[in-house]
């Protein structure tokens, strides 16, 4: 199915969590001179206009990045995240929101590489346009990222952050996430894999973190941000999570420094909160 368009959700609370964590991962990888690869299995359009476009229809960014935009008291990981978004808004107003590939590019050095996959025709065209001047460092392919990932592992650099961020618009996405990650860990056990998932009142959504933990990684981290009480009718996302295989050892401490603030800023009712579990060897 190709009905999902991330533009309607750009900059929401889930993006805040996902992109704060992504920048933490890439910053850690950048501490060594050796090159890294960033592989995005569901890259989207690259960058999103927040005024007059699809994002303005739902305006979910108002309850996400919008609540952090003017603050000067943010914890270091959140300040770094907002600083990266500001690079796409040089005149001060919040007019554009960068997707995962564009944010990754803010961390990329001359030796680093991006490999991006997107299947939606319109988003693929937009993604190509976003990176039209970066052919040496960035490759964009119109392909199913679940299937295409295996052909890139292990990468030549032997250092990579892989983001698996499907829309979960069909139940099969949950199964494919687990199957894809299992295969990836066999091909490239030393990679860092970050899986975003929604918090929904659906069995497949509730079971996904446990199924990822059962893959048997020696080191992992699972963080969940709840922004509101689940709806009585069972519909709608009330938060999101990130499951990371082979996370940096500094990541739990970095997240603990900002998650309480995220709850205060993004929480919508008394049920807002976070969970952070990890085992890092």
| Residue 158 pLDDT exceeds 70 | yes
Residues in the chain: 281
Task: Read off the pLDDT of each residue in 124-152 and give the average, rounded to a whole number.
Answer: 95
Going by C-beta distance under 8 Å and a sequence separation of 6 or more, which residues neighbour residue 183? 150
Catalytic, 165? Answer: yes
Which one of 15, 40, 123, 165 is the catalytic residue? 165
Contact present, 159 and 37 (Cβ < 8 Å): yes
CA dist 207 and 211 (Å) reads 6
Give the model's confidence band at 220: pLDDT under 50 very low, under 70 low, under 90 confident, else very high. very high
CA dist 50 and 60 (Å) reads 10
pLDDT in tens, 231-280: 877 678 999 999 999 999 999 999 999 999 999 999 999 999 999 999 99
User: Comparing 5-19, 29-43, 209-223, which segment has the lowest mean pLDDT?
Assistant: 5-19
Task: Read off the pLDDT of each residue in 59-76 and give the average, rounded to a whole number.
Answer: 95
Torsion of CA 53, 59, 64, 65, to 10 degrees: 40
Residue 235: its pLDDT value, please? 75
Residue 232: its pLDDT value, please? 77
pLDDT in tens, 8-26: 789 999 999 999 999 999 9
Residue 58: its pLDDT value, please? 67
Give how far Cα 104 sits from Cα of 45, 59, 113, 219, Å: 14, 24, 10, 23
Task: Read off the pLDDT of each residue in 171-194 and give the average, rounded to a whole number.
Answer: 97
Alpha helices in the chain, H assignment, sequence order: 13-29, 54-58, 76-86, 100-107, 121-130, 145-148, 172-187, 203-213, 251-266
Per-chain mean pLDDT for the chain = 94
Give the model's confidence band at 1: pLDDT under 50 very low, under 70 low, under 90 confident, else very high. very low
pLDDT in tens, 38-58: 999 999 998 999 986 665 566
Contact present, 38 and 23 (Cβ < 8 Å): no
Residue 32: its pLDDT value, please? 97
Q: Structural domains in the chain?
A: 6-279 (3.40.50.150)
């Amino acid at each position: 199915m190709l009905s999902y368009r991330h533009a309607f959700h750009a900059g929401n609370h889930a993006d805040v969590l996902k992109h704060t964590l992504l920048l933490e991962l890439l910053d850690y990888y950048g501490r060594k001179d050796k090159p890294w690869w960033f592989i995005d299995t569901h890259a989207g359009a690259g960058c999103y206009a927040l005024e007059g476009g699809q994002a303005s229809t739902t305006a979910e960014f108002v309850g996400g990045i919008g609540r952090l935009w003017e603050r000067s008291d943010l914890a270091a990981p959140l300040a770094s995240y907002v600083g990266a978004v500001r690079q796409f808004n040089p005149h001060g107003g919040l007019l554009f929101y960068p997707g995962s590939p564009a944010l990754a590019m803010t961390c990329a050095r001359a030796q680093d590489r991006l490999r991006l996959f997107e299947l939606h025709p319109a988003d693929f065209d937009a993604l190509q346009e976003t990176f039209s001047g970066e052919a040496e460092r960035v490759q964009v392919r119109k392909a199913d990222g679940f299937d295409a990932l295996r052909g890139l592992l292990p990468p030549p650099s032997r250092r990579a952050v892989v983001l698996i961020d499907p829309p979960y618009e069909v139940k099969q996405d949950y199964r494919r996430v687990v199957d894809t990650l299992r295969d990836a860990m066999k091909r490239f056990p030393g990679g860092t894999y970050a899986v975003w998932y929604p918090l929904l009142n659906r069995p497949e959504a509730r079971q996904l973190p446990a199924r990822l933990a059962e893959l048997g990684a020696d080191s992992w981290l699972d963080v969940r941000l709840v922004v509101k009480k689940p709806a009585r009718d069972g519909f709608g996302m009330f938060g999101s999570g990130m499951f990371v295989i082979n996370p940096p050892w500094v990541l739990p401490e970095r997240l603990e420094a900002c998650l309480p603030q995220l709850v205060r800023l993004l929480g919508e009712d008394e049920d807002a909160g976070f969970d952070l579990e990890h085992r890092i060897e």
